[in-house]
Amino acid sequence: MNSSIVSQHFFISLKSSLDLQCWKSSSPSSISTGEFKEIHDKLQILKLPLTMSDRGLSKISCSLSLQTEKLRYDNDDNDDLELHEELIPKHIALIMDGNRRWAKAKGLEVYEGHKLIIPKLKEICDISSKLGIQVITAFAFSTENWKRSKEEVDFLMQLFEEFFNEFLRFGVRVSVIGCKSNLPMTLQKCIALTEETTKGNKGLHLVIALNYGGYYDILQATKSIVNKAMNGLLDVEDINKNLFDQELESKCPNPDLLIRTGGEQRVSNFLLWQLAYTEFYFTNTLFPDFGEKDLKKAILNFQQRHRRFGGHTY
């Protein structure tokens, strides 16, 4: 390919990229300083020799396209993320991480970060209901969290009592998964009252994973199946995935999307069986700062995935 053709193709690619960036602004005057610098930097590429190979040109074109896409979805001024209603996830699993770090970063006691769990989760439930999400399963306290100091655990147990009292009147259906027998009796009573009072609520179903772990869930399901088999209630041949699903504590369809706040990129013993084909989304945003825009970004990212469940459609 001669240099004039390379120049022409490169300019067309660059112009398309810049047009897309300007398109997201309502007018040229609305381009921010950061966007102007981005355009300026791209224009500097024109100073490169025009004898590059097709491969080199392809790399630059792809780079410009990727930068444009990133600007479209990551720009802080873009508050109106357009979601596809037909691709809204039905069930979102949520690891609410970063409360302690949020408090420490502000010079506060860790308890101040924990206190924001209730209002923040209510906010997320409200947004999710409007978006048409059917189930939120939120990881509140794991089987490993008992390792924390007695003072912090006692505080969290008291906070969870307040939590369930708050959600008695919030209008969503609330249920709890996890080993309740190890929880304080007053908390067990709050859970029972909330589950009974809200079981008829329509719309969003909020599942709280409290004293829950994926290992625990799989083990208790296994024990239940073995016990039934020993008592002649089922044959070994009856044991399959569907039967195992029914014995797990979660009685909802498996999550479509897992969101973990706080920057960590692991599932931390959460819904180990149920997350087999769930899409994962990790964000550095700490849970107290996780709001409507952050939730919509996670859903938009989910909607760009191609879910094949082990097969293919191409």
* Band of pLDDT at residue 41, cut at 50, 70 and 90: low
Q: Sheet holding 279-282: strands in order across?
A: 173-177, 205-212, 135-142, 91-95, 257-260, 279-282
Give this prediction's pTM.
0.75
What tokens were used for 93? 């699993």
Where is 140: in which H helix or E strand?
strand 135-142
Active site residue 245: no
For residues 197 and 190, give the distance between their C-alpha atoms in angstroms, rounded to a whole number: 10
Residue 276: predicted pLDDT: 96
**For the residues 164-181, what does the mean pLDDT come to?**
96
Residue 241: predicted pLDDT: 95
Selected catalytic residue, list 97, 217, 235, 245: 97
Q: What is the pLDDT of residues 71-123, one digit of tens each?
A: 444 444 445 688 999 999 999 999 999 999 999 999 999 999 999 999 999 99
pLDDT over 50 (residue 12)? no
pLDDT over 90 (residue 126)? yes
pLDDT over 60 (residue 242)? yes
**For the residues 38-46, what does the mean pLDDT come to?**
49
Residue 17: predicted pLDDT: 46
Q: Report the mean per-residue pLDDT for the chain.
A: 83
Q: What is the pLDDT of residues 180-212, one digit of tens each?
A: 999 999 999 999 999 999 999 999 999 999 999
In our burial notation (b when 16+ CB lie closer than 10 A, e otherwise), range 187-212 reads: beebbeebeeebeeeeebbbbbbbbb
DSSP letter (8 states) at residue 180: G
Q: How far is CA 32 from the centre of its chain?
A: 30
For residues 224 and 230, give the distance between their C-alpha atoms in angstroms, rounded to a whole number: 10
Q: 């016990």: which residue's tokens? A: 227
Report domain extents, the chain. 85-212+249-304
**For the residues 153-157, what does the mean pLDDT come to?**
97
Residue 203: predicted pLDDT: 93
Q: CB–CB of 214/270 below 8 Å? A: yes
CATH number, domain 85-212+249-304, options 3.40.1180.10, 3.10.20.30, 2.170.150.70, 3.20.80.10: 3.40.1180.10
DSSP bridge partners of 280:
258
